[in-house]
Chain A
Amino acid sequence: MSVLASIDPELRLAFGGILALLVVASLVVAVLRRRPLSQKARATVEDSAARIRAWWMMAVVFAVSVALGKIVSVVLFGILSFLALREFVTLTPTIRADHATLLWTFWVLTPLQYVLVGIGWYGMFTIFIPVYAFLFVPIRTALVGDPERFLERTSKIQWGLMVAVYCVSHAPALLLLELRDFHGQNAKPLLFLVVVVQSSDVFQYLWGKTLGKHKIAPAISPNKTWEGFLGGVATATALGSGLAWLTPFTHLQAAGMALLVCLLGFAGGLTMSAIKRDRGVKDFGAILVGHGGILDRIDSLCFSAPVFFHLCRYFWNAG
């Protein structure tokens, strides 16, 4: 129990609150599952159950990271990136000629990005993938000598690296920032980011279910409506403002950050849906039966993490 006492009290409070909410949510779902429901309602309940399971896993990962330190967190997020990249590339129509490039991508570029994050080499980990990997991928593929769909294949691999590796790596990068007057408390802004992004998803869904009428991009994502979007983002922004005590921001600043994070989260979800529709699948989890669909869970986080990191560093960097 002394381990618990040594954890930052604000973090303990926030995390305890989240655990309580998750327990309530799991109980509600468990109760609903036992009742007789219509087809549609059952699908919604199952979807919620999957979402809640994913949150439990995130909570466990977060708790383990906090308990075991920054390097463990970096490694855990590295594994997450690896799994997300795997899903992305499986869905991408690469051919034999991409094999060598993919070997480099999975076994060298991805771990290297996380090593750079782990040692805190900011100048390098922010440009490694957009510059070095971006140039390396087409060069390696061109050396194999197959011109069929060359630009398309190269671009898709680069995209996978950006979304699954570069973007996700900015979440653990938050843990290694030195923030002004906020030393050693970086787990809290990370928690802030994850909570705001995930609750934005939930609020958009709930507002959409109750009030949703005008669809935003029906061909890409049939469930996203303007009512859901505006209501959800507003609610999540308010929540973010209320969670300012977890961060070095004032209430107004926290609201601004939360708003930005929600907008980007929405953008991430919409973009990934567009990619999935293009490939003819509804969810990444549908590629193979029984597979979690990690990208489905973290798509909102992917777009918001790098911007959140950058702004924290730009405005709140110590020294």
Chain B
Amino acid sequence: MTGLGTGHPLAPMLAGSVRLLCGGSSRWVGVTPEPVQRIYCANHTSHLDALVIWAALPPQVRARTRPVAAADYWRGGLRQWLATKVFRAILLERGTNEADPAARRARAIAAVERTAAAMGEDSVILFPEGTRGSGGSMGPFKSGVYHLWRLRPQAQVVPVHLHNLGRVLPKGEFAPVPLLASVTLGPPLALAPDCSCETFLSELRMAIEGLGAV
């Protein structure tokens, strides 16, 4: 991916607006922004989540980081243009109504492989819960993030905790209320290369919850 430089010319304006909207508080605890390949994993409560994490990254890192987003939300006109051109999201279809477990699994595996392929050398922002929680505690983590990491083992897994975004733009709402929200990024997980899915997911969950208490 050559010629990216510092990303789309409108990116700083979009990132700035997002930070203004939510108060712009981002903290790097035990980690610093670096131009290495990372998988940022965060709790999920709002459609703004990916955008807010993306906006919290410094411009050089931001240009090489792609949020994973729901294709059915970021569809049509302005939204689609923003998603594909400005913050270069990897859009995935949310197939929640598959009755057949085998078909669901096949779709999930295809999604992981698509993400890995689209990623290339870039970093990615994704949400292990798979869907937006209702703002209480985190839902169960899906295994897709583990499989992605297995495909890209050199990437650092960075836990991220998002606070209050569920109040800024709750599920099903259209316009945001400008409350103070925060992004807290933590140190990359120390993982054995052959660790199991359960271990991976539970370490990740503990890391994200731990950041929420910091």
Contact = CB atoms under 8 A, between A and B. Distances in A.
A289 B27 contact: yes
Interface string A279-311: 000000001111100000000000000000000
Contacts of B164: 90
A122 to B, nearest CB: 29
B170 interface: yes
A102 B168 CA distance: 10
Contacts of B182: 288-289
B177 A103 contact: yes
Interface in A24-65: none
A102 B177 contact: yes
Nearest to B164: A90
A86 B23 contact: yes
Interface in A251-290: 287-290
B189 interface: no
| Interface SS, B side | loop
Interface in B163-188: 164, 167, 170, 173, 175, 177-180, 182
Interface in B138-177: 164, 167, 170, 173, 175, 177
B6 to A, nearest CB: 25
Give the interface centre of A99, A103, A290 by most chain B CB atoms within 10 Å: A99
Interface in B37-54: none
Contacts of B177: 89, 99, 102-103, 106
Contacts, number: 36
A86 B167 contact: no
Main secondary structure on chain A at its contact with chain B?
helix
Interface in A80-126: 82, 86-87, 89-90, 94, 96, 99, 102-103, 106-107
Contact of B25 (A94, A102, A106, A289): A289
B144 to A, nearest CB: 28
B173 A99 contact: yes
A86 B178 contact: yes
A287 B167 contact: no
A103 B175 contact: yes
A127 B164 CA distance: 33
B25 A288 contact: yes
Contacts of B135: 96
Interface size class on chain B is 10 to 19
B20 to A, nearest CB: 10
Nearest to B134: A96
Contacts of B173: 99
Contact of A291 (B23, B167, B170, B175): B23
Q: Which of B135, B173, B177, B178 has the most CB of A within 10 A?
A: B177
B179 A291 contact: no
Interface string B116-141: 00000000000000000001000000
B170 A106 contact: no
B197 to A, nearest CB: 33
A290 B27 contact: yes
A288 B180 contact: yes
B175 A287 contact: no
Nearest to B184: A289
A89 B164 CA distance: 12
A157 to B, nearest CB: 11
A86 B177 CA distance: 9
A290 B25 contact: yes
A227 B182 CA distance: 40
Contacts of A96: 135, 170
Interface string A147-190: 00000000000000000000000000000000000000000000
Contact of B180 (A82, A90, A94, A103): A90
Given A86-B23, A90-B164, A103-B175, A287 B170 contact: no
A25 B142 CA distance: 56
Given A90-B180, A99-B177, A103-B175, 19 more contacts: A86-B179, A86-B180, A89-B177, A89-B179, A94-B167, A99-B170, A102-B177, A103-B177, A106-B177, A107-B175, A288-B23, A288-B25, A288-B182, A289-B25, A289-B27, A290-B25, A290-B27, A291-B23, A291-B180
16 contacts: A82-B178, A86-B178, A90-B179, A96-B135, A99-B170, A99-B177, A102-B177, A103-B175, A103-B177, A106-B177, A287-B180, A288-B182, A289-B27, A290-B25, A290-B27, A291-B25
The 10 closest A-B pairs by CB, nearest first: A90-B180, A102-B177, A288-B25, A90-B179, A96-B170, A288-B182, A288-B180, A103-B175, A99-B173, A86-B178
Interface of A: 82, 86-87, 89-90, 94, 96, 99, 102-103, 106-107, 287-291
